[in-house]
Amino acid sequence: MILDKFSLKGRVALVTGAGQGLGLGMALALAEAGADVALSTPGDAGSSVAEVEALGRRACHVPLDLATASPEDLAALVGSVVQTLGRIDILVNNAGVIHREAATDHSAAAWRRVLAIDLDAAFFLAQAAGRAMVAQGGGKIIFIASMLSFQGGILVPSYTAAKHAVAGVTKALANEWAAAGVNVNAIAPGYMATDNTTALRGDPVRSEAILSRIPAGRWGTPADLAGVAVFLASPASDYLNGAIIPVDGGWLTR
């Protein structure tokens, strides 16, 4: 049956930035599809773990501050997931931050922090997970890209640089690991109602300009990523490699 291709029963997923918003939404979707889930956040994630466990799945919290994590820390994070839950089959590289400031004033500290979380940590975590997945004969790595993987944006040069790079890294790793049974793809969310867009949604002029360009006529929600996340994590996507899938209400078509 085709729906069996979407089952994640017996799989183990690691989701970063899983304490709230898009990360938690995807973690719960993977759990609903049958996966056990490790949730990575810099702070407490007790309520998120409880939500996964309420779905009848195993869950654990693997805390780490990605802003200061070294490649060795990220490798240890993957090792902790394997030790606690037995293996790692799925990585959702979701954690990210954004800094809004004119390019003329964009500080070096802000640039480094955004790149450290959104690009460096994402790559080295994928590297560590990829090693384990290649060794076991397969796995699924899902990066979270952005509309700013395709466009330049306004007042977000560091975020745009990171998300363009995420799209490139997705393709590069897909080229290297596809033959080993590891699918590497990315989701590019459109304008989502999350903490990252609080300032935009609170600005009547910017909010109206954004909504007027979205054919669906609304901001996205974490639930809008559930289906594509399960698809990319499941055997249904076994022949998909290096794709950047927009989930944007049609934003890019305008």
- Residues marked active site are found at 159
Task: Please name which of 108, 204, 200, 74 lies closest in space to residue 147, comparing C-alpha atoms.
Answer: 200
**Which helix (DSSP H) or strand (DSSP E) does residue 144 occupy?**
strand 139-144
Query: CA–CA separation, 165 vs 117, rounded Å?
Result: 13
**Which helix (DSSP H) or strand (DSSP E) does residue 205 occupy?**
helix 204-213
DSSP state of 192: B
Asked if 177 contacts 184 with a C-beta cutoff of 8 angstroms, the reply is yes
SS3 33: coil
Query: CA–CA separation, 82 vs 173, rounded Å?
Result: 21
Query: CA–CA separation, 96 vs 119, rounded Å?
Result: 9
Question: Beta partners for 52?
Answer: none
Query: CA–CA separation, 212 vs 248, rounded Å?
Result: 13
- CA Rg value for the chain: 17
SS3 58: coil
